[in-house]
Amino acid sequence: MKFCSQCGAKMDITLRSLVYRKKVHILNVPIYVCNDGLCAFTSVVDVIKDDVKLLMKELGDKPEAQEILFDEISEFANLLVNIVEQGDSEQVIEKMEERIDELLDLYLLAKSLDDAKWIDEIKRRLTQIKLEV
Ligand SMILES: [Zn+2]
């Protein structure tokens, strides 16, 4: 579970659009949003930061106006889109969110330990959540 670095409230994961260089619309990017309506602080989910950086590097400084579906680039974003689209019941969605929360916490830990093998393992498990439920 992630807490807001600004106000300490719980944060939820949601899919948002990012605009890059005012020209490129990147859709379905997993973002943390603070539950406190007044604060509403947002931050990019850690596990996809590398994918976002890579994408921006590929687009360069003067990208053409275009729309990009981030879930076609990132397996984790794809998983979230699938959950939103196929979640039959709130119970299933809740279970998946708990599992994702757990794995994202582990991911942060693995990242802080700089354990590449563990990081890969968590990424793999994150993209397979759908199959486990
Ligand atoms: Zn906040």
- Please list all protein residues whose beta carbon sits less than 5 angstroms from ligand 1, which is an ion: 4, 6-7, 9, 34, 36, 39, 41
Q: What is the pLDDT of residue 131?
A: 46
Q: What is the pLDDT of residue 9?
A: 96
Q: What is the pLDDT of residue 130?
A: 63
* pTM (predicted TM-score): 0.83
Residue 100 to residue 79: CA distance in whole angstroms? 10
Cα 34 to averaged position of ligand 1 atoms, centre (Å):
5
Cα 105 to averaged position of ligand 1 atoms, centre (Å):
19
Cα 35 to averaged position of ligand 1 atoms, centre (Å):
7
Look at residue 133 and tell me whether its pLDDT is greater than 70. Answer: no
Q: Are strands 24-34 and 66-69 parallel, antiparallel or unpaired?
A: parallel
Cα 16 to averaged position of ligand 1 atoms, centre (Å):
17
